[in-house]
Structure 1
Amino acid sequence: MFKDFKDELICTGGKLAIMGGTFDPIHLGHLVTAEAARVQYGFDHVIFVPSGQPPHKDRKDITAPAHRYVMTILATMNNPYFHVSSFEVERKCPSYTIDTVKFFHEQYGDKAELFFITGADAMQEILTWKSVPELLDTCQFIAAARAGCCFQALENVTKELGPAGKERIHFFATPEIDISSTVIRRHLKEKKSIKYLVPETVEHYIYNQHLYGCNGK
């Protein structure tokens, strides 16, 4: 069902960013954030990793991994710097960040500098994550939030992590794109348009597959 990620990317060095998320569905805000981070930090590749079984979310509320994986491919296919990995969606057990980071480190760690892009709100919970010292030793983190967002809570967390937190976690102010997957799902449930919120290819896929309770346009 899933294309082997190793066939999609031959990494010869440089900076490689992992962007994990549920992507339920992936939307323009995700893409704008990834592209802005790529440019600002000089990433050579950005790998989108749709989650399989997120350990901190109710699986009943999440669309099947196969659909989220396909939508992510459709959304990113026109950007040569973007790639999609099926690593997490193929796993039969809960997906922890450390497992994903270790996978890519084993694949490319000796060739590329690894980064992980995630929301600043998620990063505030890093003290509860699995194997935090190993995580910070293996990759750096880009904590993304909209411009004007108060990073004070996250700064307090990084202080608790000591020098590694300060050196390995970077704050990134994203462009002002007020779109969320929650809003998109609500629009679909209420029969509202999602045009210009998601890529056209993703919009067509959602309607054709009758996802999120919709029965076509």
Structure 2
Amino acid sequence: MATFIWNGAGNGHLMIEGRIGVLGGTFDPIHGGHLDAAAAARRACALDTVLLVPARAPAHRASAPRAPAVHRFAMAALAAQGCDDLRVSDIELRYEGPSFTSVTLERLAALGHRPEQLFFITGADAFADIAAWHDYPAVLDRSHFVVVARPGHSLAALRAQAQLRARMREAAGSAPARGESVSIWLVDAATRDVSSSALRRRVGAGEPIDGLVPDAVARHIARHDLYSAQSPASCLHA
């Protein structure tokens, strides 16, 4: 299983060379839309690896994730299984409190990853609220940002943002040059129209989720009775 592990002492960190995409999320559960975004970013920006980073407690959500962190990490690892260009990191799961993108990028920098080596992947819907993110605008200097179109959320509105327009680049035709200064890369791509909340509702209603999540993830959800109407929401993150 392709797994990237970082521990509190730093000596469990597996150093990855080249261009690293960083895709964070609650992954409650991870689904095809996440994987489509990772693949689109990898192709557009010539990434060597995409790192899946399950969040301990997403800063933008008041409620706790339904599934404990151990299951969300396991599902991300199952989604990455057999994919040489995917890794999974527990870098956000080892700390109490909310998971901030800026802090995670700082921790990766402390482990030797330069800003121009990192490509933080996010959806157009989430990036639309970038001004409300922790440590904005400094967070934009800690890595490249790769903004992928989402169903119902095109890139047109982002292109019209005057305050960020100078930093925006179209990730089409040719990949960013190696060592290029950090920028915001816009990726027009088709991704599956699926959300974790909709998947949880489907599981709770006994509806199938075939094709919406990797088969191994669907089996994990069924085996551990995650998201069923009888399973309580988790207040524990680990």
Is TM more than 0.5 here?
yes
What is the alpha-carbon distance in structure 2 between the residues aligned to residue 185 and residue 148 of structure 1?
A: 20
Describe the shift of the 1:148–1:63 C-alpha distance in structure 2 as closer, same or farther (beyond 3 A): closer
Q: Superposition pairs for residues 4-15 of structure 1, below 5 Å?
A: 4-5=5-6, 7=12, 9-12=14-17, 14-15=18-19
The match for 1:114 among 114, 118, 127 is 118
What is the alpha-carbon distance in structure 2 between the residues aligned to residue 213 and residue 47 of structure 1?
A: 29
Match of 1:172 in 2: 187
What is the alpha-carbon distance in structure 2 between the residues aligned to residue 214 and residue 75 of structure 1?
A: 24
Q: Superposition pairs for residues 24-43 of structure 1, below 5 Å?
A: 24-43=28-47
Root mean square deviation, CA, Å: 2.6
User: How far does residue 111 in structure 1 lie from its aligned partner after superposition?
Assistant: 9.1
| Aligned residue type for 1:89 | L
Gaps of 5+ in 1: none
User: How far does residue 214 in structure 1 lie from its aligned partner after superposition?
Assistant: 5.7
Q: Do structure 1's residue 102 and structure 2's residue 103 form an aligned pair?
A: no
What is the alpha-carbon distance in structure 2 between the residues aligned to residue 194 and residue 122 of structure 1?
A: 24
Q: Do structure 1's residue 145 and structure 2's residue 146 form an aligned pair?
A: no
* Higher share in helix: 1
Give the structure, 1 or 2, with the largest relative contact order (CA under 8 Å, sep 6 or more): 2
Higher mean C-alpha displacement, 72-81 vs 106-115: 106-115
User: How far does residue 41 in structure 1 lie from its aligned partner after superposition?
Assistant: 1.1
Match of 2:225 in 1: 210
Contact 1:45 1:82 in 2 (8 A): yes
Provide the secondary structure at the position in 2 that maps to 1:63: coil
Higher mean C-alpha displacement, 58-67 vs 48-57: 58-67
What is the alpha-carbon distance in structure 1 between the residues aligned to residue 20 and residue 119 of structure 2?
A: 6
What is the alpha-carbon distance in structure 2 between the residues aligned to residue 150 and residue 196 of structure 1?
A: 24
Describe the shift of the 1:3–1:97 C-alpha distance in structure 2 as closer, same or farther (beyond 3 A): closer
User: How far does residue 8 in structure 1 lie from its aligned partner after superposition?
Assistant: 6.8
- Identical pairs, percent: 33
Gaps of 5+ in 2: 170-181, 232-238
Contact 1:136 1:165 in 2 (8 A): no
The match for 1:186 among 201, 206, 230 is 201
TM-score (norm 2): 0.80
User: How far does residue 215 in structure 1 lie from its aligned partner after superposition?
Assistant: 7.2
Higher mean C-alpha displacement, 172-181 vs 40-49: 172-181
Higher mean C-alpha displacement, 74-83 vs 127-136: 127-136
Number of residues of Structure 1 aligned to a counterpart in Structure 2: 213
Match of 2:91 in 1: 87
Residue deviations 1:164-209 (CA, integer Å, cap 9, x gap): 4667212112224222212211111110111121111111111111
User: How far does residue 110 in structure 1 lie from its aligned partner after superposition?
Assistant: 4.0
User: How far does residue 69 in structure 1 lie from its aligned partner after superposition?
Assistant: 0.8
